[in-house]
Structure 1
Amino acid sequence: MSLIEAIIFGIVQGISEFLPISSTAHIVITQLMLGYTFPGLSFEIFLHLASVLAVILYFWKDLWEVIRGFFAFLFRRSTEDKPLFFFGVYLLVATFITGILGMLLSDVISDAMKTPAMIASALTVTGLALIFIERFHKTGSKDESSMTMIDAILVGLGQTLAVIPGISRSGSTLVVSLLAGLNRETAVRYSFLLSIPVILGSTVMALDEFTAEMVTYIGPLNLFVAFVVTFFFSILGIIWLIEFLKRSKLIYFALYCFALAIFVYLYIDPSTVIDI
């Protein structure tokens, strides 16, 4: 891998990770276009670590407030910390559901689903879901203090759909959160914070895939550069998405998903089996 290609992978991962457009689909498409094959998820998860570090640093105040409030209510039972305690519980519940079902479904996802046609179909579904939530569903008013356990369960189930190549994790959590009646600000915050345990958990599960062969294949310098670039563009992606959703519509992401699906369908060899 050349240094330029490492930078390209970092930019693609960083920009696409938190936008509702499926970072997995973008990494796979980039691999195919550049002619690379990375066995398993080792490289993708390595880049995900850079993205989750960006979330932790950007939302460190929110994260610390949830952790502080969680343990403060747990030990002191203070009324003012109760909403933060339950918000923390809802993050754990959604993560647990995603983790358990994700492990079960990952064995069910056959090679027949790891194809360009499947990615194109999943991107189309993501686009349709974004259009539905934007045009045909009234935004709710729930915030973190009025969320319920049912909301957390639904979001956890929705997030599990991201095991399907081309289904966006951020997109699915945003759509289900809004369907559950959360206001847009809370849905976005919940989605970002939820990415932290999910990505860290998937990294732990894939530690055995980080081998010397993988490092040699990509190159230590290229891995470092890809990590730094991913981190930088993840920060940009987070800031841009938050500001974008304050004044614009999810439908633009839907149109992008449709365009990308058409590109995959027309220009990626349909017989390709993707190793993810």
Structure 2
Amino acid sequence: MTILEAIVLGLVQGLTEFLPISSSAHLVITQLLFDISFPGFGFEILLHLGSVLAVIIYYRKDLIELIIGFFSYIKNRSEENKTNFWFSIYILVATVITGVAGILFEDYISTALKGPTVIAISLAITGISLILIERAIRTGNRTEKDMTLFDSVIIGIGQSIALIPGLSRSGTTLVFGMFAGLTKETAVRYSFLLSIPVILGSTVLAIKDLLNGELLAVAGAFPLLVAVIVTFVSSLIGIVWFINFFKRSKLIYFSIYCFVLAFVVYFFLGDVDPNQF
């Protein structure tokens, strides 16, 4: 992997990870355009670590508050810490659901569901979902205080479905969260914080791909470092931009983008062998 390829792949991952347009699809498409491939899930996991570090930095105050509130509520059952305690539980529940799904279907997803045709269909489904949540479902008014265990299960299932390349994790969790009646702000916060344990958990599952040396041999140590750094910086930019955009604009624009990209992938990349990458 060249330095230019590392920079482009890092930008693609960082700028798309927290937008409802599927970072996994964009990574696959970019690899196809560059005609490069990487063994296992190691490369994707490294880039996702750059993204999750950006979330941790951006939401550092929220995370400290959640951790303190979680253990304080266990210790003294104080009412002021109740919301943070249960919000943490809801994050853990959704994470467990996604983790189980990842373990059960990892091999199938990494082989049969990684082709351009599947990605194109998934992108179209993402586009339709964004239209439905924007046009057919009224914006909810439930915040963290109003969330229930059922909400976390529903969103966890949605996040599990997003393991399919082309289905956006952030987009799916946003759609399922808003479908459950959460406010935009709550759905976004839950979705972003939920990415932390999910990505860190996927790192553990793919640790063998990081330690066997194949990725390092194919990509090179310095290009990998560059890709992760670029991912981190661009992820921070993407988070700030999307949150500001989401407050004042509509998801319909991302829906249109998904449809256009699905068309391009299906008609121009649809005959590419999935085993190529």
Q: Which residue of structure 2 aligns with residue 254 of structure 1?
A: 255
Mapping 1:101-140, distance limit 5 Å: 101-109=101-109, 111-140=111-140
Whole-Å Cα distance in 2 between the matches of residues 138 and 160 of structure 1?
Answer: 24
Quote the residue 1:68 is aligned against.
68
Residue 217 of structure 1: how far off its partner (Å): 1.4
The more displaced of 240-249 and 264-273 is 264-273
Q: Which amino acid aligns with 1:163?
A: L
Task: Say whether residues 1:220 and 2:221 are aligned partners.
Answer: yes
Counterpart in 1 of 2:99?
99
What is the Cα deviation at residue 275 of structure 1?
Answer: 6.4
The answer on whether the counterparts of 2:39 and 2:214 sit within 8 Å (CA) in structure 1 is no
| Letter paired with 1:239 | V
CA contact (8 A) 1:39 1:275 kept: no
Distance 2:7 2:110 in 1: 31
After TM superposition, list the pairs within 5 Å mapping 1:1-276 onto structure 2. 1-109=1-109, 111-210=111-210, 211-274=212-275
Which segment is superposed worse, 123-132 or 260-269?
Answer: 260-269
Tell me which amino acid in the other structure corresponds to 1:189: R
Please list every run of at least 4 consecutive aligned residues from structure 1 whose deviation after the TM superposition is greater than 3 angstroms: 107-112
Q: Do 1:95 and 1:198's aligned partners in 2 also have CA atoms closer than 8 Å?
A: yes
- Alpha-carbon spacing, 1:225–1:187, altered in 2? closer, same or farther (3 Å): same
Question: For each residue in 1:109-166, what CA deviation from the matched residue of structure 2 results, as whole angstroms up to 9, or x when unmatched?
Answer: 4744321111000000000000000011001111001100100000000000112111
Rounded Cα–Cα distance in structure 2 between residues aligned with 1:274 and 1:126: 24
In 2, Cα distance between equivalents of 1:213 and 1:112: 22
CA distance in 1 between partners of 2:110 and 2:56 (Å):
33
Question: In the alignment, is the contact (CA less than 8 A) between 1:115 and 1:270 conserved in 2?
Answer: no
CA distance in 1 between counterparts of 2:128 and 2:213 reads 42
Over the residues paired in the alignment, what is the CA RMSD in angstroms?
A: 1.2
Q: Hey, what's the Cα distance between the residues in 1 that align with 2:78 and 2:139? A: 31
Distance 2:231 2:70 in 1: 31
Distance 1:229 1:115, change over 3 A: same
Deviations 1:155-212 (A, max 9, x none): 0000001121111100110000000000000000000000000000000110100132
* CA drift at 1:269: 4.5
Deviation at 1:40, TM superposition (A): 1.4
State the TM-score, normalizing by the size of structure 1. Answer: 0.97
Equivalent pairs counted in the alignment come to: 276
User: Which residue identity is paired with 1:250?
Assistant: L
* One-letter code aligned to 1:8: V
Tell me by how many angstroms 1:105 deviates: 2.4
Q: Which amino acid aligns with 2:37?
A: T
The Cα of 1:216 is off from its aligned counterpart by 2.3
Counterpart CA distance in 1 for 2:67 and 2:263 is: 43
Looking at structure 1, the residues matched to 51 and 215 of structure 2 have their Cα atoms a distance apart, in angstroms, of 20
Alignment check: 8 A CA contact 1:47 1:227 kept: yes
Deviates more, 1:194-203 or 1:204-213: 204-213
Shift, 1:108, TM fit: 4.1
Displacement of 1:274 after TM fit? 4.6
Query: Please, which runs of 5 or more residues in structure 2 have no aligned partner?
Result: none
Give the distance between the partners of 2:109 and 2:8, measured in 1 at CA.
28
Report the Cα offset of residue 219 of structure 1.
1.2
Identity %: 55
State how far apart, in whole Å, the 2-side matches of 1:44 and 1:275 are: 16
Most deviating of 104-113 and 74-83: 104-113
2-structure distance, mates of 1:140, 1:273: 40
Displacement of 1:270 after TM fit? 1.7
Structure-1 separation of matches of 2:189 and 2:76 = 26
